[in-house]
Chains A and B, each alone.
Chain A
Amino acid sequence: MDSKENGGINRAVVTPPENLPATPLEQVLVAPLGGPVQVSQRVIDDVNSVRPLEEAISLSVKKEQWANSVDTLNNSTVVGDARAASPLSGVPTQPNFETSNIPQGMVAYRPENTGGAIVDTSEPVVDATGPAHARIRKQTLQSFSNMTPEERVAAARAALLRYDQEVGMGKDASGNDVPHQQYKRELRRLNQDLFSPVVKSALEDRNGQQVDVSILNNTALMKEAGENEKLRRMLVKESSKKIDEVFKDVMDAAYQKQHVVEGVYARAGTVAPGDGGVTPDWAKRAVRTEQRKIALGLLTTPESSQLAIAKAKEWVGAQMTGVPDVDEAIAGKARLGRALLRIQGEQEKKAAKAAVVSQAPVVSTETVVEAQPAVVATSPVIESGVFGPKPGFPDTSRLVEKPPVEDVVVPLTEPESEDKKRRRGIIPLFTDFVEKSGEPTSGAEGRVRRYGKRIAIGAVAGAIAWTLLRSGDEPHANYNPDTTSPDAQPALVVEDTKPAVPVMRGQGFIPGDEGGGASSGPFSDSSRGVVDESIGSGQPTTRPEASVEVAMSTEVTFGPGETFGEKMFGIDGTTEGGRQQISERLNDRSNLDFVEATVLANIGENGMATSATDVKQIFDGIREGTLSQEQGWHMLDDVLVRGTPDKDFTYNMPTKAGVDALVDDREGIYAASGVEGANTTRSEIPDFTVSGADGSPVQVTVGDGTGGPDQVSQEAPVAVASDFAPTAGDVIVGGGAEEQPDVVPGKPTNKGFFNRVSRFFK
């Protein structure tokens, strides 16, 4: 900081980052408390020689503002001390205001901060009516009229910088305190307000100049095109080029928009220690939030996207809208553009963060040391994947090598906390959320997207499951390993009811699936392979032969310090290598036995009346394929979180016998949900009964998922019409709450019965 005496006024100039030009915006004036404010000629000269950063803003406007400021300030009296940090003094609270170079009794303000936040002004220096963002927006937009697109972007950038500084001081233009959250909102709104016209103007500037839409707007031609496939394709191809141009403009504007905020971010984050720290910390965080949102594509506003799409449609000809190829091309471009922006944002965000981490005084050494590896380091666990073994790591067959574990004695310590129950609710919530957030796509991109989505969701969902289980597995949370302690009374002994539980062969849980990602995770897409698809297809309902014997079937007694992982996997957890192996096993989703043990442990701790048999039945259903893992998790959630189910409840869990009966007796009949794809809750799904060929009913009961089995029992099953007599090959497509199942004859699918039924859960 350069500080010197100048006519009774201390003037300090914060050294700007190397990559940003020095501008008057960095200047800080210091004046004696209670004394008159005088503005040095040098400062005025500086303003008159504004640097390129501000050139986009109308100089006349800026100079006028500054002149007003000088006049006002020269007749003002300093009323507060920056270090007082008291709103009562009229000085905004500035959490990280660097005052080391400001003498006691002096206050600091910036020339731009002319709203009277620090100085006692008898009249506003600038139009201080309305929120600051609206005023700045108005001023900026007014100056847009005679600007080129590039100048408009620069103007918007400068306006954001100005807003950051002005409002970032803690006061709006009216002198009111600006809470941090409000600041964030206003910054975001300003950003959007400014850039919507930027995007719009960028599009409009090209309209009729570089893009000739006259042909595409020819109604007669388009009419002909509708009848002429070749011409239509040609026009679509031509349209695609136009769309490319449109979105190039949009992306250019978005890119500029990103850099605007990034500029603010860099500016906020790279102020060197001792150089003033003029940007409050919370302002930095606010900017980083914006940066993050840009990186994630969330700040590519719906407004700008819709505008671009509308413009693209307009350019390619309104008559073309409704042509699937064109619509898809536009939508696809928009999606791809957003994705590109996100990637770009992520990359540049990391670069910016690296710079900030290395320079920002606000990041402690401890934080940097802890945080930096997260960017570059690869955890060994990554290589093992969340679900399913990865190359070089053990697959489920290695479980055969495990020594049999004899006893499982799960001590009861303390009831499950409400927080813990709440956490468990994350699983279905997350699943529901991500399942509903997908974009409908078609074509190769859609399939790639779905593929990536499944894996990504599986990876994250797996982390949730792992974390929940792990949190439930920590000794302090769930059990007291010290069996010598009087508090470690065994509460639940898992009986040896099933000496060998088959686990499907293969790397993943799904036959033929290679594991990894959601396709094999507990939140797997229930439309894929969770259930042996031979069911209902006329093929024998064989199951993959058991490849392992799981240990959950017998009791395990924990000794002092022993853990589930050690016991369940027979691995010495006292060594780093052993812990790593346990971690790998935990990440292997196929270790349902371990999961089951953990769940059982939690039941015991809860003191819930839920029987181990119920839980084991769920896991058996998962293992045997009569129940998808997703269904199983929903059920477990109900059991564990929402209370103790009735002993005789059947919800969500059709019996294996029922499945076999259906498959055996009604080969080729599929119960397909009539609510597929709809936003139907389970409470809207009725029971329905399908009569087997021999007349014996095969009932599939679907729970409501919200209130336990009681609500299910209160729902009257949909009466099946007496003439409802499906035959082999029919597809039951009805089943809505208010309708009878319909039968569509002769349309068997290769989907398994439960793949269809599982759709009820969505």
Chain B
Amino acid sequence: MNTDVPMTNKQKLVFHLMEKGLNNEEVARTLADVAEAAYEQFTTEAMSHFTDEDKKAIEACGDDASADELIKKLFSDRVGKDASEHLDQIVEGHAASYLLDSANDAGVN
């Protein structure tokens, strides 16, 4: 494969961490930070838009799968964005933030 295929920030981050020589646990921890920060942000954003009725409906779902579908729909209705895409972009943003931090650190070295 050509090496100049555009990469997402997430992918860039993985490469970057590897190139920095981080060990597995450090890479995993960093990426877990990214994921955690992303879903924390998503959770807060979603919960701030959902109404009490929405929350009750989510809680009333019989299983996680149906709850996921409802959350997806409600998020789209209330926020006007596709939940998966939006969260993916949040992850991208956090990954970009890490990369920028790293770039800044490199810049001052």
Binding site for B on A (CB under 8 A): 96, 281-282, 284-285, 288, 292, 296-297, 336, 338-340, 342-343, 346, 349-350, 353, 356-357, 360, 362-364, 367-368, 370-372, 374-375, 378-383, 385-386, 390-391, 422-423, 425-426, 429-430, 433-434, 437, 443-445, 447-457, 459-464, 466-467, 470-471, 473-474, 514, 516-517, 519, 527-529, 563-566, 573, 579-580, 582-583, 586-587
Contact = CB atoms under 8 A, between A and B. Distances in A.
Interface in B18-32: 18, 23-25, 27-29, 31-32
A350 B99 CA distance: 12
Given A367-B103, A385-B88, A426-B24, A342 B40 contact: yes
Determine the interface band of chain B, counting residues with CB < 8 A from chain A.
35 or more
B45 to A, nearest CB: 8
A463 B13 contact: yes
Given A456-B87, A459-B10, A448 B99 contact: no
A573 B18 contact: no
Contacts of B90: 456
A340 B34 CA distance: 16
A470 B108 contact: no
Per DSSP, chain B at the interface is helix
Contacts of B92: 378-379, 382
B39 A564 contact: no
Contacts of A429: 24-25, 28
Nearest to A332: B47
A363 B1 CA distance: 33
B109 A281 contact: yes
7 closest A-B pairs by beta carbon, nearest first, are A463-B10, A452-B39, A444-B55, A371-B103, A374-B96, A452-B42, A362-B108
Contacts of A360: 104, 108
A346 B34 contact: no
A386 B71 contact: no
A381 B43 contact: no
Interface string B54-92: 111011010011011001100000000011110111111
Per DSSP, chain A at the interface is helix
A379 B108 contact: no
A467 B97 contact: no
Nearest to A467: B14
6 contacts: A386-B8, A426-B28, A447-B64, A449-B40, A452-B38, A582-B1
Contacts of A462: 10
Contact of B100 (A281, A282, A343, A375): A375
Contacts of B56: 444
A281 B83 contact: no
A360 to B, nearest CB: 8
B44 A336 contact: yes
B32 A437 contact: yes
B1 A573 contact: yes
B58 A285 contact: no
Given A296-B37, A429-B25, A473-B1, A281 B10 contact: no
